Amino acid sequence: MWFSEYLFLERSWAKDENTLKAGIQRLKDFPRPFWLALFVEGTRFTQAKLLAAQEYATSQGLPVPRNVLIPRTKGFVSAVSHMRSFVPAIYDITVAIPKSSPSPTMLRLFKGQSSVVHVHVKRRLMKELPETDEAVAQWCKDLFVEKDKLLDKHIAEDTFSDQPLQDIGRPIKSLLVVASWACLVAYGAYNFLQWSSLLSSWKGIALSAVGLAIVTILMQIMILFSQSERSTPAKVAPGKPKNNSESSEAR
């Protein structure tokens, strides 16, 4: 993530605002084409988080989501305001798993088991977005209402639209990259074992087995905590009564 120049945030706007601004400014003069991915929901989707979002939406008189969480728009608005001059478009992406395919998990990836994923992509020109921050935030919220309806259609019909699916297959470039790294790591491991003579004695074999067991346990722990059910619960601000002079906004 560090080598890919991710922007590391702390989920505190007082700390993250300057981090986000500085990171986006670095992208302005980036020498190669780039993309910046924003997960506007701010956390992973679980039924508990969906229930909290529905309760909040009901208390605030907002559209009640069925398949998405209420977007957190501060980061999105900040990104748009700083990137308008050099980013031509936003790619609005919605992802769903067809009923006939198992959900992709970390464990399935390690086992080499594939899953089918449907991806709906819509290109939205940056120049077509509203000018003010408040209007951009509302545009984002309206977009998630559309996403909710789009996911309703996918749940009912197992497709996003009447257009034919485009199967992108397995990218050859990714396969070559993974295979090259696998060969390099295997070659390095073989040379290390030869140099250290770990496999030339029972003590070395036992030490290698213990090391392999520790790595396996750590991988299992990582897989366990990568499950969405174990992610940090969403904290939803309590609803405030609305009056004619004040309108409430989703967090």
Query: In this structure, are 85 and 131 located in the same domain?
Result: yes
Neighbouring residues of 71: CB distance < 8 A, sequence distance ≥ 6: 40, 41, 42, 140, 141, 143, 144, 250
Residues of the chain with pLDDT under 50: 233-251
173-230 pLDDT, tens digit each: 888 998 999 999 999 988 888 888 777 888 888 888 898 899 989 988 887 776 665 5
Tell me which residue of 23, 93, 52, 94 sits closest to 251, measured CA to CA.
52
Query: In this structure, are 32 and 135 located in the same domain?
Result: yes
Q: Provide the pLDDT for residue 175.
A: 87
Query: In this structure, are 110 and 188 located in the same domain?
Result: no
Our count of domains for the chain comes to 2
Query: In this structure, are 151 and 176 located in the same domain?
Result: no
Q: Provide the pLDDT for residue 227.
A: 66
Query: In this structure, are 201 and 108 located in the same domain?
Result: no
Query: In this structure, are 213 and 93 located in the same domain?
Result: no
Query: In this structure, are 103 and 151 located in the same domain?
Result: yes
Query: In this structure, are 144 and 51 located in the same domain?
Result: yes
Query: In this structure, are 23 and 94 located in the same domain?
Result: yes
Cα torsion angle, 140, 144, 145, 149, sign: positive
Parallel, antiparallel or unpaired: strands 118-125 and 89-96: antiparallel
Token pair listed for 88: 């031509």
pTM beyond 0.85: the answer is no
Structural domain containing residue 218: 172-227
Q: Provide the pLDDT for residue 97.
A: 92
Query: In this structure, are 51 and 152 located in the same domain?
Result: yes
Let me know how many helices (H) and strands (E) the chain has, helices first: 7, 2
Residue 245 is given by DSSP the state: T
Query: In this structure, are 103 and 203 located in the same domain?
Result: no
Q: Provide the pLDDT for residue 50.
A: 93
